Structure 1
Amino acid sequence: MCSGHRNRASSGSSQRRGMSIDSQSVRSEQHTEVGFIIARDASILIERWCKRAMEEQPNAKRVHHEALRDQFVDLLAALGRSLAQSDSPDQSLHRFPAIEHGEQRWESGWSLPEVVRDYQILRLVILEYLVETLDRHVRAREVMAIGLALDEAIAASVGMYVSNREQFILAIGQERLEQEKQAKAGLEKWEQIFQHAGWGVAILNAVDHTLQTVNPAFAQMHGYAIEELAGKPLNLCLAPEAHADWLMNAGLVDQNGNHVYESVHIRKDGTRFPVLTHATTVRDEADKPLYQAANFQDITHRKELEESLRRQAEALRQIDQRKDEFLAMLAHELRNPLASLLNAANALRLSGIRDDNVADATDIVERQVKYMVRMVDDLLDVTRISLGKLELRKQRFDLAAAITQAAQISRPLIEARKHELTVHLPAQSLCLEADRARVEQMLVNLLTNAAKYSDPGGKISVMAAREEDWAVLRVRDTGVGIPRDMLLRIFGLFTQLDSTRARSGGGLGIGLTLVHRLVKMHGGEVTAHSDGPGRGSEFVLKLPIGNAQQRPGDSEKDRQTNQVPPRHILLIEDNADGRVTLQRLLQLLGHRVDIAEDGVRGVAAALANRPQVALIDIGLPTMDGYEVAEKIRAELGKKIFLIALTGYGQTNDRRRALEAGFDAHVTKPVDITELSALLAALAPVTS
């Protein structure tokens, strides 16, 4: 019984095994049919899935269900092929392409619950459709097998989703960690700068400008602890007188984004100090102010240095002023004795004495006096140019006349050293618009330099020509030459080639400096050329022609003493030698000359004798020449011609003389030709 039971059991078992083999074969056939149906009816399944998915997941993120239709076509086709070609759905799951569906959902931004529910809806739709289609052929267990296969596919796909997501999160996390690490390193660096900077740094509220954060240097600069300043207004650190300016500067920071300004700050102990501030407004992406960052530098040392430099500059200015005053006084004091010497020489020349020795002595005195006068004038001119006080008086003139005059002035020195002078004038008249006196002065200095630095018996030449819009003058000599290293320095003040030769030749080393500065004032240039020591030298002077045009009859007046009608002249001069010698010279020229030794006597003599001309020295005792001129002009009006006679020859001196009522200004020592020209130009005046 027992065995029978066992046999029945065994027989039953064998039957079940046989049935299992048969059913496996059946399932295989059914899998093929199921796969065929899924592949064939994929569009129907998709429509059902889409409708149900939209009903159950209306808020699925980022990607609309309609956009997944193409993905489900591939998914169902792959599922159908897998079921149709596989003996066992369990074995096909490892290569089941549905896994890609999870990746697509992940890349599209779906959440994990959304992906799982998406698969569940798909599974349910497929199973329901299979039951509807195969209800007469497929047993429940087969449907369950298909369901299990789908479940495993879903699990694999979700697993891939989770894996990708975790890998992404891990990668993002690592990237963020690296960024945070770099950001932390950057913050640490800036924190080090903030904490250890040698200047004050503060972060201020963008609205009320209270101090949010300050570094130790800012706190120390103002004598506070850091915690004492937190939340305090910046005004706490500003001197009261700086508050108004600070409000204006804060507005400029807000308006322009950044601003640099100076202000006065105050320490906790009340001491004030200057500060340079550089403030910047920091804004967010919407251009809304977040805060202000400002650097504060204590510029006490800089201000002290600036004040020191200002005091030094003022001291130098005063030194320059005293130097100018000294040079002007020196020139005045030198001109008085020089005037006496020149007057005496001219008087001897006009005296009619026919003695060769007297004539030679007269020539020597006149030549040396004029040379000394030129040195004094050059020294004063260099000073005036340096201070910007020398003004050019430009006029049209023929360059040939200026060259001839310069040669005449330089000829005594050239002949004394037995040099040969050759002058080559342009074939056609060459007119300039320039200061003729300064052009002559430059040429005289170049000729004098050539004469001094050439051994006796040398050759000197002057050549003039027009080159485009320039008048070019060349002064050549056969003298000592110029070393190459001196060519660029030769125009420096007080520069001389050789001290021994310079002392023997005379001079102060200012002639070439004056030439260089005067030609620059004219907009020209001067250059020096030499092949070296002992090879001579050449100076090339280039002057712009300007607007000068040659016009018929536009010739210069000859500088000669024309026959001057006798004049009644009052000479007011406190220097006895100058007074006597000039009086005698004027008398020899045929003029009637009254004299007065001071201003008071001069005014009285003018009112009593009513002369045609008054020569008035400016530096008179008791009453200076300006006041004398004003008083005489007030009484006699234009009936008298007033000439300022002075050793002060600067532009301001001439201007002041004209403002005081003088008609002309003559610098001592008097050039008798210039004075005679003034007297000759006077209309006959009856007293």
Structure 2
Amino acid sequence: MSTKPALLRAEPHATLGAVVLRDAGVIVERWARRSVEEQPSARRVHHEALLDHFPTFLWELGRGLADAREEDSFRHCRPADVHGDQRWEAGWSVGEVVRDYQLLRVVLVEHLDEALGRALTTREAQAIGVYIDDAIAASVSAYAACQAAAQRPAEVRQRVPGAARDELLGVMGVLGHELRNPMAPLGNALQILKVAAADPTAVERARALMERQLRVMTRLVDDLMDLPRLGRGKMGLKTERLDLSALVRDAANDRRPAFEAAGIALTVALPAEPLRTTGDAARLSQVFGNLLGNALKFTDRGGAVHVRLSRDDVGKVATFSVKDSGVGIDPSILEQVFEPFVQADRSVERSRGGLGLGLALVKGLVELHGGTVRAASAGAGTGTEVTVELPLIDLDARAPRANAGAAPKGPARRVLVIEDNVDSAESLQMYLELLGHEVAVAHSGTDGVRTAETAVPDVIVCDIGLPGMSGHAVCARLKTRPAFARTLFVALSGHAADGPELDPSGNGFDLYLLKPVDPKQLAEVIAGAGANNQ
């Protein structure tokens, strides 16, 4: 076998790579026009999908051209792998897709000739050809794999062991049950608002009920999304200096009404002085809240939960513990309770609600902060104690001030919200307009681009998973234009994998927010947009 392809892949072409990274959006636009002009009779079912995907492919291609080296000569195959992951929808024509890749090669070479003011050398053209050919091969292979998988669903099902399949179905059943639980009170509250709109007391009670149930659903979804992020090492921390005493006090106070309603005594012992650490306030609050929630869930009426925070004699380690008088844990599975979907007592867990994710998340978040967590129990009916240890910083460090309070209004901004979920878009529009901002809404990527071009906004808040044209494609198309140089691009994503790693050029979104977005957090981002884009 010839070694020329491998040698081509190992050759760096920094100038070509820089141009491709800089002009990816322009190249995709030129391809979009030419593909329609040169294939007028094509059905083009796949056109919007490739329009979304080609910017990412070109960014990866540009990086590969710029960074190629002998010891890592097949690094550039990542663009082909990305293309291999794309979904092949019904109605796509393999011939049309392949011709569009080939046309991209033509457009890319033409653009590079113009940008460099010279024709590409033979080696440069061959290097680009290797990338395009690998992408075509990967995409066609993906099509073949999709076709083969569709023809043997029974065979795929048979490969899943019976016990594993039953466990998966059981988890899905619990997930469905847990997500349906808040739906009934939410529906009831909506009916109350309809029939009692003139009764302020009833309206306030319904509002509070809906707020509580929304928090329940949000916690469930957050748990399901956070666990894979931890497993893939994609969980980032927003670290700052924190007072653990304040975080524990707030977590306990937030849940005290629930303990009182359940008839469970909650006692909290805190040190007189602040215990300061460096960490993510939201994630540590999630740790403390999950442990308090577990203690509440597994302790019967008349029981007790004791929370304690202390430090060691030398002031290097803080110890947080939650001890309950609840159902307890069999000592034989104590080491397993921090694994995902593991329940200490399945019948008890099922009856009391839960997915078995809380302790797994606690363990992952604590370890991200350089700490440890352990559980202790003498068995059924003896209660459980969970202990977290976290490193402390010097005791003389200044404690941070709380960030509580209303969302800052700041100066009025022109904001464009691009979101295909109509209710989400309109509710964000209402909230931001109440803060004094001028807000426009679009429900597709194409409409978003058109709206942005009509009146350039100060801030674009854009969903990633838009129909037809993805948020990444919207950003790529707009951000290369001088008119948007001062616009802040904020991505809203329902998937952890949609982050900045999909934008290796560094020319994508300025900020990524995970859904469901906290309106106050978004308001703070918009209020600071002017400072961010000076």
Q: TM-score range by the shorter chain?
A: 0.5 to 0.7
What is the aligned partner in structure 2 of residue 463 from structure 1? 308
Counterpart Cα distance in 2 of 1:437 and 1:612: 28
Query: 1:119 matched to which residue of 2?
Result: none
The Cα RMSD (Å) is 3.8
Aligned residues of 1:384 and 1:390 also touching (Cα < 8 A): yes
Call closer, same or farther: CA 1:384–1:412 in 2, change over 3 Å: farther
The residue correspondences of 1:366-515 to structure 2 (distance < 5 A) are: 366-407=211-252, 410=255, 413-414=258-259, 416-467=261-312, 468=314, 469-515=316-362
Deviations 1:319-356 (A, max 9, x none): 9xxx9xxx9xx99xx9xx99xx99x99xx9xxx98623
1:514-533 equivalences in 2 (<5 Å): 514-533=361-380
Cα gap change, 1:672/1:389 in structure 2, threshold over 3 Å: closer, same or farther?
Answer: closer
Q: Distance in 2 between matches of 1:515 and 1:553?
A: 24
Corresponding residue for residue 94 of structure 2: none
1-structure distance, mates of 2:249, 2:508: 35
1:603, distance to aligned residue in structure 2 (A): 1.4
Q: Structure 2 matches for 1:215-614, cutoff 5 A?
A: 355-407=200-252, 410=255, 413-414=258-259, 416-467=261-312, 468=314, 469-545=316-392, 547=393, 550-552=396-398, 554-558=400-404, 560-614=406-460
| Contact 1:433/1:548, CA 8 A, preserved across alignment | no
Question: Secondary structure of 1:487's match?
Answer: helix
The question of whether the paired residues in 2 share the 8 Å contact of 1:627 and 1:660 is answered with no
Unpaired segments ≥5 residues, structure 2: 1-158
Paired position in structure 2 for 1:24: none
Q: Give 2:516's match in structure 1, choosing from 669, 672, 678.
A: 669
Alignment match, 2:473: 627
Instruction: Name the CA distance, whole Å, in 2 between partners of 1:363 and 1:530.
Output: 36
Displacement, 1:397?
A: 1.8
Q: 1:393 to 1:584 in 2, by over 3 A?
A: closer
Q: 1:558 to 1:353 in 2, by over 3 A?
A: farther
Deviation at 1:398, TM superposition (A): 1.8
Superposed displacement of residue 686, structure 1:
12
Instruction: Give the 3 Å change call, closer, same or farther, for CA 685–441 of structure 1 in structure 2.
Output: closer
Q: Which residue of 1 aligns with 2:527?
A: 680
Kindly tell me: are residues 564 and 623 of structure 1, through their superposed partners in 2, closer, same or farther at Cα, counting changes over 3 Å? Answer: same
1:684 & 1:564 partners in 2: Cα distance?
11
Q: Could you tell me how far apart the structure 1 residues matched to 2:257 and 2:455 are?
A: 42
Judged with a 3 Å threshold, the aligned counterparts in structure 2 of structure 1 residues 668 and 536 are, in CA distance, closer, same or farther, namely: same
Give, in whole Å, the separation in 1 of the partners of 2:216 and 2:275: 29
Task: Tell me if the contact between 2:409 and 2:436 (Cα under 8 Å) persists in the aligned partners.
Answer: no
- Aligned pair in 2 of structure 1 residues 434, 365: CA closer, same or farther (>3 Å)? same
Question: Which segments of 5 or more consecutive residues in structure 1 lack a partner in the other structure?
Answer: 1-314
Taking the aligned partners of 1:426 and 1:410, their CA distance within structure 2 comes to 20
Q: Which amino acid aligns with 1:399?
A: L
Q: Is the 8 A contact 1:413 1:448 kept in 2?
A: no
TM-score, normalised to structure 1's length?
A: 0.45
Aligned-residue offset at 1:559: 5.6
Shift in Å at residue 409 of structure 1?
5.5
Structure-2 change in CA distance of 1:508 and 1:418 (3 Å)? same
Verify the 8 A CA contact 2:415 2:438 in the aligned structure 1.
yes
Counterpart for residue 108 of structure 2? none
Name which structure has the greater RCO, CA cutoff 8 Å, separation 6+. 2
**2:242–2:399: 8 Å Cα contact kept in structure 1?**
no
CA contact (8 A) 1:471 1:543 kept: yes
Letter in 2 for 1:426: P
Q: Give the aligned residue type for 1:575.
A: N
Query: CA shift at 1:657, angstroms?
Result: 6.4
TM-superposed deviation, 1:402: 2.8
Give 1:541 deviation, angstroms: 0.6
Kindly state the Cα deviation for residue 665 of structure 1 after the two structures are TM-superposed.
1.7
How many residues are matched? 349
**Would you say the 8 A contact 1:473–1:540 is kept in 2?**
yes
**Percentage identity across paired residues of the two chains:** 38
The answer as to whether partners of 2:465 and 2:493 remain within 8 angstroms in 1 is yes
User: How far did residue 571 of structure 1 move?
Assistant: 1.0
Is the CA contact (8 Å cut-off) linking 1:398 and 1:556 kept in structure 2?
no
Q: Per the alignment, in what secondary structure is the counterpart of residue 557 of structure 1?
A: coil
Which one-letter code corresponds to 1:643 in the other structure? Answer: V
In the superposition, relative to structure 1, how do residues 426 and 356 fare at CA in structure 2: closer, same or farther (>3 Å)? same
Q: Which moved more, 1:438-447 or 1:397-406?
A: 397-406
Cα gap change, 1:384/1:663 in structure 2, threshold over 3 Å: closer, same or farther?
A: closer
Is the 8 Å Cα contact of residues 276 and 399 (structure 2) preserved in structure 1? no
Relative distance call for 1:551 and 1:522 in structure 2 (3 A) is closer
TM-aligned CA distance change 1:390 to 1:355, over 3 Å: same
